[in-house]
Amino acid sequence: MRELNAVGAIAARDLLKFTRDPGRLVAAVVFPFVMISMLGGTLQLNLGKSAGINFIAFTFTGFLGMTLFQSTAQGLTSLMDDRQNDFAQELFISPVSRYSIVLGKILGETMVAVIQVLPMVVLAFVLRVPLTATHVALLVPVALLACFMGGAFGLLLLNTMSDSRASNQIFNFVFLPQYFLAGLIAPINALPWYLALASLISPMRYVIDLVRGVVFSDSSDARLVLATPATNVAVLLLMFAVFMIAGTALFVRRETNR
Amino acid sequence: MATPAIEVRDLVKRYRKGTTNAVDGISFTVEPGQFFALLGPNGAGKTTTIAILTTTLSPTSGTVRISGHDVVSEASLVRRQVGIIFQNPSLDMNLTGEENVRIHAILYNLYPFRPFYWLMPGAYRRQLRELADVVGLGADVFKPVKRLSGGMQRKLEIIRGLMHHPRVLFLDEPTSGLDTVSRRNLWQYIGELRRRHDITICLTTHQLNEAEKADQVCILDHGHVVAIGAPRDVKTELGHERLVIDANDRAALRRRLVEINVPFSEDGHFVIALDGRTAHEVVRAIDEPLTLLRTESPTLEDAYLRILAAGDA
């Protein structure tokens, strides 16, 4: 019970911080509007018909998966900010398991990420993305898995950073290539062999492909899905386990071994 | 014999990028319920020692036990025994003061998690109000931390550190930034805590008058223990009580002191190092009417400065 209480408190802290950050709230509404309606709309008008792809739906699913994954991963780096602001002292002196601290952070950032994508889902209905109630229901566990995966990935990255400035640089280096390798903007059914290899180790690829596997299950765009949902879930669970164990062990070791 | 509250043996800490040991083979023992003061100039190793004692830093070598539990192999048990008021601010600036305190209370399993203050148990709300009044923060505890002044933030940290009643409470320069009234209130409250709950206090401070009431002081310099013992012992080791006297007929007084074979110096008044004598013995041997009579005891600050000066010499 002690650990559950602690996980709840740490998670609630992240949610509170999000609701008090007007910049992040505005970005949560504006960003999907800009990316889906403008980017998706442009691709749809220019390439949609000739390629036979619903680019609005393609962009929506891509940005949905990316936001869930990346928002949670970036949220985990707030542990770095905590350390610089010395709030980490308060967390690390408390009689709470380090695993609970990490789990609380991931849960908190998961809640933040899920809230961030709600305007995106509303926008999808407005833009007539073929989204049914069943899709939305299936997307709930998918969203949770995407966030947990992002959290574990963020935790692992955290151990490579020395300060929050370095964290911004690493994020540009790590996430930007994944936008292309994971098929966020353009389909990746065909890639040069070296990019195909790089794509296979991109966690974001499996998140986005899982989202598309659910949303495109009964449409002609299903041909853009790279693997079955079961395969994507299995890969994500495996990656989650490896990243979590390695990330937490490294994080705890680094905190006490300064 | 009771298990010591704090037991430090041959503790060494060298930081990963350090070229010298921040803490270099220190040892000391603190009995349960004692008020222990760790003193020393900046960079002496006090904060490093506290960080190791509270499990946020691992030692390079040596053993440290808190209430019998090893800080490395039994870190989780140690964390349940200790509380700390940090030297550096450790507040979440995005939250209100109360939210910071609430997170602390939940992390220490004092109260169940509730997302809002008004849902928290009455006992929590009473305890918060009582502590806020003790340090003089009052209703400001509900303000966002970023809107509190530095002194008010310090008070908030103190409230947070006292929320749970730890067996060993580490106070890392707890009163820096506090005004006189808040400082006095805080020490009164800590005194009450000790009496009521038999808490062991480990203090680091630059305010040496705060360490005068300690049961034991330990002075660190360059990572070494340079003096340890009860404040009275540390003081008498380096200086004795002095008698300061004067008279209208100063020549007669001077002659008399020479006659009775009492060494003295003249520093505005006649200053006599008692050095084994009592003030009463000296005064009884003087017939001349005195216009000034007082005794002076060396303060901990005097002793501290002499110890550090001796170390630098």
Residue B128: give its domain's CATH number: 3.40.50.300
Tell which wins on pLDDT, A126 or A153. Answer: A153
Residue B292: give its domain's CATH number: 3.30.70
pLDDT number for residue B311: 66
pLDDT number for residue A84: 66
Does B175 map to a domain? yes
CA angle A50, A56, A60 (to 5 degrees): 140
Does B308 map to a domain? no
Q: In total, how many domains does chain B have? A: 2
Pair B74, B209 in one domain: yes
CB atoms within 10 A of CB A32: 25
B113 touches chain A (CB under 8 A): yes
Pair B161, B96 in one domain: yes
Pair B162, B245 in one domain: no
Does B155 map to a domain? yes
Pair B84, B129 in one domain: yes
**Binary contact (B94, A93; C-beta < 8 A):** no
pLDDT number for residue B52: 92
Pair B53, B26 in one domain: yes
Pair B86, B26 in one domain: yes
**Residue in B31, B33, B60, B36 with CA at minimum distance from that of residue B48:** B60
Does B71 map to a domain? yes
**Binary contact (A93, B82; C-beta < 8 A):** yes
What residue in B sits closest to A91 (Cα-Cα)? B107
Identify which of A6, A87, A92 has the shortest CB distance to residue B56: A92
**Binary contact (A13, B99; C-beta < 8 A):** yes
Distance from CA of B310 to the nearest CA of A (A): 32
Show Cβ contacts of residue A77 under 8 Å, excluding neighbours closer than 6 positions.
Answer: A154, A157, A158, A161, A164, A167, A171
Pair B163, B109 in one domain: yes
Q: Residue A232 in contact with residue A213, Cβ under 8 Å? A: yes
Q: Would you state the structure tokens that stand for residue B164, as one six-digit string?
A: 């749970």
Distance from CA of A41 to the nearest CA of B (A): 38
User: Exposed e or buried b for every residue in A115-129, given b needs 16+ CB within 10 A?
Assistant: bbbebbbebbeebeb
Tell which wins on pLDDT, A253 or A62. Answer: A62
pLDDT at A256 over 70: no
Task: Please state the pTM of the whole predicted model.
Answer: 0.77
Does the model's ipTM exceed the 0.90 cut? Answer: no
Identify which of A21, A89, A258 has the shortest CB distance to residue B90: A89
Distance from CA of B224 to the nearest CA of A (A): 21
Residues 26-85 (B) with a CB less than 8 A from some CB of A? 54-58, 75-76, 79-80, 82, 84
B103 touches chain A (CB under 8 A): yes
pLDDT number for residue B313: 61
Pair B198, B267 in one domain: no
Identify which of B55, B75, B113 has the shortest CB distance to residue A8: B113
Pair B206, B251 in one domain: no
Query: What residue numbers bound the domain in which B80 lies?
Result: 6-230
Q: Residue A153 in contact with residue A69, Cβ under 8 Å? A: yes
pLDDT in tens, chain B (313 residues): 689 999 999 999 998 878 899 999 999 999 999 999 999 888 889 989 998 998 888 899 999 999 999 999 998 889 888 888 877 778 888 899 999 999 999 998 899 988 889 999 999 999 999 888 887 888 999 999 999 887 788 888 888 888 887 889 898 888 777 778 878 877 887 887 778 778 899 999 888 888 888 999 999 988 999 889 988 888 776 667 788 999 999 999 999 989 988 888 887 899 888 877 888 888 898 888 999 998 887 777 777 777 777 766 6
Pair B190, B254 in one domain: no
Q: Is B57 left (phi over 0), alpha (psi -120 to 50) or beta?
A: beta
Does B11 map to a domain? yes
Domain end marker among B206, B230, B254: B230
Chain mean position to CA A76: 11
Q: For the residues of B65-92, what is the DSSP string, one character each?
A: EETTEETTTTHHHHHHHEEEE-SS----
CB atoms within 10 A of CB A231: 14
Rounded to 5 degrees, φ, ψ at B126 are: -65, -45
CB atoms within 10 A of CB B67: 20
Does B311 map to a domain? no
pLDDT for A63-76, tens place per residue?
A: 999 999 999 998 88
pLDDT for A20-48, tens place per residue?
A: 888 877 887 787 778 888 887 788 778 87
Rg of chain A, C-alpha, whole Å: 19
Q: Residue B123 in contact with residue A119, Cβ under 8 Å? A: no
Identify which of B90, B109, B115 has the shortest CB distance to residue A90: B90
Q: Residue A88 in contact with residue A258, Cβ under 8 Å? A: no
Pair B64, B150 in one domain: yes
Give residue limits of the domains in chain A.
2-256
**Span of A82-91, A149-158, B185-194, B229-238 with lowest mean pLDDT:** A82-91
Does B309 map to a domain? no
Pair B161, B29 in one domain: yes
pLDDT number for residue B145: 92
Q: Are strands B224-229 and B216-221 parallel, antiparallel or unpaired?
A: antiparallel
What are the E-state strand segments in chain B?
6-13, 23-30, 35-39, 61-66, 69-70, 82-85, 168-172, 200-204, 216-221, 224-229, 242-247, 265-267, 269-273, 290-296
Q: Residue A112 in contact with residue A104, Cβ under 8 Å? A: no
Show Cβ contacts of residue B213 under 8 Å, excluding neighbours closer than 6 positions.
Answer: B35, B231
> Distance between CA atoms of A52 and A44, rounded to whole angstroms?
9
pLDDT number for residue B312: 64
pLDDT number for residue A12: 92
Does B96 map to a domain? yes
**Binary contact (B107, A17; C-beta < 8 A):** no
Q: Residue B36 in contact with residue B216, Cβ under 8 Å? A: yes
